[in-house]
Amino acid sequence: MVASANTRLRLETSRLTARFGQHRAVRDVSLLFPAHTVTAIIGPSGCGKSTLLRCLNRMHELTAGASVEGEVLLDNVNIYAPDVNPVELRRRIGMVFQRPTPFPTMSIYENVAAGLKVNGRRPRPEVDDAVSRALQQAALWDEVKDRLHTSALELSGGQQQRLCIARAVAPQPEILLLDEPTASLDPAGTQRIEELCHALKRLYTIVIVTHNMQQAARVSDYTAFMYLGSLIEVGRTEEIFTKPRVEQTEAYITGRFG
Amino acid sequence: MSAFRRHLTSRVMTALVVVLSFTAVLALLLILGNLVAKGASSIDWAFFTKSPVPAGQSGGGVANAIAGTAVIVGLAALIGVPIGVGAGMYLAEYGGGRLGFLVRFIADVLNGTPSIVVGIVGWTFIVKPTRHFSALAGSVALAILMIPMLARTTEEMVRLVPNSLREAALALGYARWRTSLKIVARTAMGGIVTGCLVGIARIAGETAPLLFTALGNLNFTLNVNQPMQTLSLQIYVYATGPFDEWHRLAWASALVLMGLVLVISLAARWVTRQRYGSIR
C-alpha cells in the first residue's frame, strides 16, 4: 500500500511496541518508510509519535525504564537484534530535535564536524569538504562561510536548527529523523526547514514528526496518523488529507479534536 | 492604621536586613583591616626572599613558607583534582545506582570530617610507616580534604548541562563515555575549574591537617620528602611564640595568606564569567 513499485524498501517497523515502565506509548505499530520520501507522523500531543521516532534510532531505550518489543527493520536487518551496536547504528541515522542543540563549546565548523570524528581521524581537507557540503545541504553555507570558527551560539534560532541539520547530515546518514524541527522557529525559519525537506529527500529517507498538519501536507509524500499510541491510518499525503478512510483521521485533520 | 503599620513593618524589616548584611561583610572588612594595619608594615622584599632568622634576631622573611605553601598545595591539587573531578563526573553521569548513592554519602561524610582528623590519617598512613614527617604527607592530607568538595561541586556543575546536549551527541553516534568527555565535561568546564579554584583556596589556609604531616620547617626546602613550612604553620608557630618580632611576622604572613586566598577566589570568579559555554 505505502511502498510504491519502484521505491526501494529501506526502513520498516513491525509490530513495534514501546513502553515507559508499564505505560505503552507506542502500540503494535507496523509502518513502512519508503526510500527517498518524506513520511510525516502526525497526531495530537502524547500520541506516541516522538517515541516512535526515537525507536527508529534506538534513542528510546536510553530513557530509564523504557523498553521496546517488536522489530525495526533497516534493509531487512532488525536493529534490535543482539549483534547490532546501537552507537554504530546511530551513525547511519541522523536526528534533529525540537529545540536547536548546538554544542556550546564548539565553533560552527566543529559542530558540523562533530559527527565525522566518531568514525576516526580523517585528513583535514576531507573534513573541510564534508563540512562545507553539509552546510550547503542545510542551506546555511552562504550565511556562515566567513565565520566558520566563531561560536555556534551566535547564530539565530533558525540558523542553529539548520546547523543541527548540517551536523546530522555531515556523516552522510541513510535516514534523517526530524522531531518537530520547527517547533521553536518563526515562520521564516519554518519555511526554510520545510524547503530543506524537499531538497534533502533526494539524498536521504526522511521521517518528520509534526503537530502541524499544514506542515505535514506541505512537506511529506506519506502521512501516518497516530492516536493514543496506535497507528490509525497511513497513506499518500494527498489521500490522507482529502479522503481519509478512518473517521478519527478525518476528525483530527478537520480540527474537531487534538 | 493598618496601611501605616504595613509600611512601618516593611521599613523596619528592610533596615534590619541591611544591617545584618553589613554585619556579615563587616567580618571580612575587620579581618582585612586588622591584617593590613598590623602586617603591612612588615612586608618588604626580604619578607618574600629570606628564610627565618634564629629567634631573638630581627630581620628575615618567610620565603620558606611561601614556597612550601605553593609546593604542598600544588601537589595536593595534582593528587586531588583528577580524583575529585573524576568522581564528580561519575556521580553526575553514571551515579544513579547504589554505588553512586554510596559514593555520594561517603563524600558528604568526608566533607564534614574535621580537618585535624584527616591530619591524623595522614600521620598514620604516611608519616608513621616512612618514619618521618614530609610535605608529601601534608599534600595527601589536603588532597583528602579536597576530593569530596570537588566531587560534589563537579557533580552539580555537570548536572547543569542540559540533557538535550547529551541526546544530541548520542544521536550522532557518540558512545556514552565520549559524550561525557567531549560534550558534557567541556560544556561544564567553566564551573568545574571554578570549583577547583575554590577548593584550592579552601585548603591553602588549612593548618590542622599539616601539624602531624608536613610539620613545619624553619629552613627553605623544596624536597617533598622532608618536613616543609607553610604560611599557615608559620602563623601558628610565630603567633604562639614569645617574641614581638615573631608576632610581627605572623601578622604579615596572615596578610599574605589572606591575599593569596583572595587572588584565587577572584580568579575563580573571573573563570566563571568567561564563556566556556552557557553554564555559569
A104/chain B closest Cα distance in angstroms: 5
A60 touching B (Cβ < 8 Å): no
User: CA-nearest residue of chain B to A113?
Assistant: B172
Tell me which of A36-50, A87-101, B47-61 is least confident.
B47-61
pLDDT of residue A256: 79
pLDDT tier at B97 (50, 70, 90 boundaries)? confident
| Mean pLDDT, rounded, for B222-241 | 93
A64/chain B closest Cα distance in angstroms: 10
**Percentage of chain A modeled with pLDDT above 70:** 96
Give ∠ CA B242-B244-B245 in degrees, rounded to 5. Answer: 110
Which residues does chain A have within 8 Å of residue B277's beta carbon, measured at their own beta carbons? 104-105
Quote the cell numbers at residue A190. Answer: 519554518
Q: B14 pLDDT exceeds 70?
A: yes
CA distance B102 to B112: 16
pLDDT of residue A9: 56
Q: Best of A60, A88, A101, A121 to disrupt the B interface by mutation (most B CBs within 10 Å)? A: A101
Q: What is the ipTM of this complex?
A: 0.90
CB contact (8 A) between residue B278 and residue A103: no
CB contact (8 A) between residue B171 and residue A167: no
pTM: 0.84
Write the pLDDT tens digit of every residue in B164-195: 999 999 999 999 999 999 999 999 998 999 99
pLDDT tier at A6 (50, 70, 90 boundaries)? very low
pLDDT of residue B57: 79
| DSSP states along A222-252 | EEEEEETTEEEEEEEHHHHHHS-SSHHHHHH
pLDDT of residue A1: 40
CA distance B140 to B77: 9
3-state helix, strand, coil in chain A (%, to 5): 35, 25, 35
pLDDT tier at B275 (50, 70, 90 boundaries)? low
Mind listing the domains of chain A with CATH numbers?
9-99+175-253 (3.40.50.300)
Find, among B136, B145, B85, the residue nearest to B113 by Cα: B145
Q: Best of B157, B165, B166, B172 to disrupt the A interface by mutation (most A CBs within 10 Å)? A: B172
**Percentage of chain B modeled with pLDDT above 70:** 97
Write the pLDDT tens digit of every residue in A156-208: 999 999 999 999 999 999 899 999 999 888 888 899 889 989 889 988 999 99
Write the pLDDT tens digit of every residue in B106-150: 999 999 999 999 999 999 999 999 999 999 999 999 999 999 999
- For A80, list phi and psi in degrees, rounded to 5: -95, 5
CB contact (8 A) between residue B165 and residue A103: yes
Q: B241 pLDDT exceeds 70?
A: yes
| Mean pLDDT, rounded, for A218-240 | 95
B176/chain A closest Cα distance in angstroms: 9
User: CA-nearest residue of chain B to A97?
Assistant: B168
A114 touching B (Cβ < 8 Å): yes
